[in-house]
Amino acid sequence: MEVAVYWGCMIPTVEYAYELSLRATFPRLGVKLIDLKGVSCCGSPIKSVNRLAADYLALRNIALAEETGTEHLLVPCNGCYLSLSEALHHWRTDEELQGEMEKFLDKEGLTLEGGIKIVHTINFLHDIIGLEAVEKAVKKPLTGLRLVSHSGCHILRPSKILDVDDPERPRKLDDLIRALGAEVLEYPESLDCCGAGLLLSHPETAVSLSATKLRAIQGLGVDGLVDSCPACHMMFDARQETGARAIGYKLSLPVVYYTQLLGLTMGLDGRSLGLHLNQSPVEKLLERAQKTFP
Amino acid sequence: MGRRALTLRDLTSEAASEGELRERIVRELGSEFQSCFRCLRCTSGCTSMKLLELRPHFVMNMVKLGLVEELISSGIVWTCALCLKCEERCPQEVSPSELITLLRNFSFQREENVPEAYLKVVSSVLETGFIQEPMEVVSREFEEFTRESLGLPRLVGPREAFSENLIELMTREAG
């Protein structure tokens, strides 16, 4: 199965671990990723300064993806997933906007049909690849590991437009982690925002929010946190130490992308999954995982 | 991609009057946003309430009262984390976050209170297509890596017509 992939900005400019682990694992599930040329920012940060420009940015990326002729467009970043889904919804429901946008796309030599299906890593794996196929790919199950998940805001809300998972009680990422053999805990703070949306305006508050969530998770005594959004991941992983300082609490929680965990259970080498790039203490999780491997 | 020297002035339009602003809000969001009956579901679930004292229902009602200028000059619209819980949970299906986003657009057009980091992102997207260029990262063992050294393909950005389009959209008269 071929699928076009739109990486956005954060993944290909700094969150390389997500890209590496997705590129390493998806072919093993029978998925061939098709990279896009000429893509740009999805429009997410631009929406705060100009909503129309944000729609244009999103739609031009979708038009580029449609040129590949694949049924699905995989968008691994939550923020991009929302921007693209929302702009496509605007385009489908607002004729005036559609006419306007066609002019701008035309100047770039692009046309938009609007039929491509936008999917995120989580619903692509859960609904299209399927839990059984994921389970089958597991060579080294994570038996005995206790984990929690963070789905992130922008694949859940607004549920009027998005349909990745239940907006108030998401389960798919948990199901996917269980498919790897680990135990998953539910926790009261699971819907709390990572704070990344405040990084550009109130950075100190942003890291306080992510650190407060991490403190709650650490209190559960779990082996780690699993996410699948580059913005959330950056807040929990790379900014864990900054956040810990902001709230005056010692944090030491392994944070991994779901695709990194998936790759580990497939028996892939840690470096090919970018596990050396995580800034949180993932060794603790890796050691525990090694012990569980038969 | 060609570069073109830009100033903020290029991206902003003349400030609209208070009445025009309200009209524009109704035009863009529909008059439904005025159906808020202050149930406070938005505020009770707001990510930014505790630390930044954002109260989305206040924003909704200030606009209803015509206090748009005050909202823009207070800078309060930049305290929203855009988690979209308010939009999801509103029983009247109005969206405080969408209203806040529109007010941010007004702030930008008037060059009022826009956080510096947003302006940087705008410049970068105009120049390169992305919010930033691929960065050098370090592993936990302090080894340095780039896309190239990690074996990742080169990032190919958009062509010239892209930035022309974007500039046109962003310089256009509001509404």
pLDDT tens per residue across span A4-50: 999 999 999 999 999 999 999 999 999 999 999 999 999 999 999 99
User: Would you call A33 helix, strand, or coil by DSSP?
Assistant: strand
Residue among A6, A49, A161, A286 with most chain B CBs within 10 A, to mutate: A49
Neighbours of A68 (CB within 10 A): 15
Bridge partners of A257, per DSSP, are: A227
Residue A293 is predicted with a pLDDT of 61
pLDDT in tens, B67-87: 999 999 999 999 999 999 999
Residue A289 is predicted with a pLDDT of 86
Report chain A residues whose CB lies below 8 A from the CB of B152: 12, 16, 19-20, 23
Q: What residues contact residue A143 under an 8 Å CB cut-off, 6+ apart?
A: A181, A182, A292
pLDDT in tens, A49-70: 999 999 999 999 999 999 999 9
Average confidence score pLDDT of chain B: 89
Distance of CA B128 to the CA centre of its chain: 19
Query: Considering CB atoms only, which of A13, A35, A47 is closest to B130?
Result: A13
Please give the Cα distance from A75 to A229 (Å, whole number): 10
Phi then psi dihedrals of residue A173, to 5 deg = -65, -40
Residue B15 is predicted with a pLDDT of 52
- Residue A56 DSSP code: H
Report how far apart, in Å, the C-alpha atoms of A220 and of each of A107, A152, A170, A291, B77 are.
Answer: 54, 19, 19, 21, 35
Residue B17 is predicted with a pLDDT of 67
Res B4 pLDDT > 70: no
What is the CATH code of the structural domain delimited by A2-119? 1.20.1050.140
Scanning B46-65 for CB atoms below 8 A from A yields 47-48, 51-52
Residue A286 is predicted with a pLDDT of 94
Residue B13 is predicted with a pLDDT of 44
What are the boundaries of each domain within chain A?
A: 2-119, 131-292
Is the minimum CB–CB distance between B143 and chain A shorter than 8 Å? yes
Hey, what long-range contacts does A241-249 have (CB within 8 A, 24 or more apart)? A241/A279, A242/A207, A243/A207, A243/A208, A243/A210, A243/A211, A243/A214, A244/A211, A244/A214, A246/A204, A246/A207, A246/A208, A246/A211, A247/A208, A247/A211, A247/A212, A247/A215, A249/A211, A249/A215
What are the boundaries of each domain within chain B?
A: 15-109, 115-171
* Dihedral sign from CA coordinates of A276, A278, A284, A286: negative
Q: What residues contact residue B7 under an 8 Å CB cut-off, 6+ apart?
A: none
Average pLDDT of the segment spanning B108-137: 96
Per-residue confidence band for B20, with pLDDT thresholds at 50, 70 and 90: confident
Query: Whose structure tokens read 């693209």?
Result: A84
Query: Considering CB atoms only, which of B79, B114, B156 is closest to A202?
Result: B79
Res B133 pLDDT > 80: yes
A40: closest chain B residue by CA: B129
Query: Whose structure tokens read 């008059």?
Result: B31
Res B11 pLDDT > 90: no
Per-residue confidence band for B1, with pLDDT thresholds at 50, 70 and 90: very low
Res A102 pLDDT > 60: yes
Res A133 pLDDT > 80: yes
Candidates A176, A205, A194; CA nearest to A230 is A194
Residue A75 is predicted with a pLDDT of 98
Residues of chain B with pLDDT > 90, as a percent, come to 74
Residues of chain A with pLDDT > 70, as a percent, come to 99
Query: Considering CB atoms only, which of A52, A156, A200 is closest to B115?
Result: A200
Intrachain domains A2-119 and A131-292 with the same fold? no
Neighbours of B93 (CB within 10 A): 12
Through-space distance between the first and last CA atoms of chain A, rounded to whole angstroms: 31
Q: Give A131-292's CATH code, choosing from 3.40.50.10800, 3.20.20.70, 3.40.50.720, 3.40.50.11810.
A: 3.40.50.11810
Is the minimum CB–CB distance between A83 and chain B shorter than 8 Å? no
Distance between A54 CA and the closest CA of chain B, angstroms:
9
Residues of chain B with pLDDT > 70, as a percent, come to 88
Average pLDDT of the segment spanning B114-140: 97
User: Would you call B46 helix, strand, or coil by DSSP?
Assistant: coil
Per-residue confidence band for B142, with pLDDT thresholds at 50, 70 and 90: very high
What residue type is A140 in one-letter code?
A: K
A277: closest chain B residue by CA: B139
Asked whether the beta carbons of residue B88 and residue A157 sit closer than 8 angstroms, the reply is yes
- Residue A143 DSSP code: T
Helix then strand then coil, % of chain A, to nearest 5: 50, 10, 40
Residue A82 is predicted with a pLDDT of 98
Topology at the third CATH level for domain B15-109: Fumarate Reductase Iron-sulfur Protein; Chain B, domain 2 (1.10.1060)
User: Phi-psi region for residue B75, left (φ > 0), alpha (ψ -120 to 50) or beta?
Assistant: left
Asked whether the beta carbons of residue B131 and residue A13 sit closer than 8 angstroms, the reply is yes
Per-residue confidence band for A290, with pLDDT thresholds at 50, 70 and 90: confident
Is the minimum CB–CB distance between A106 and chain B shorter than 8 Å? no
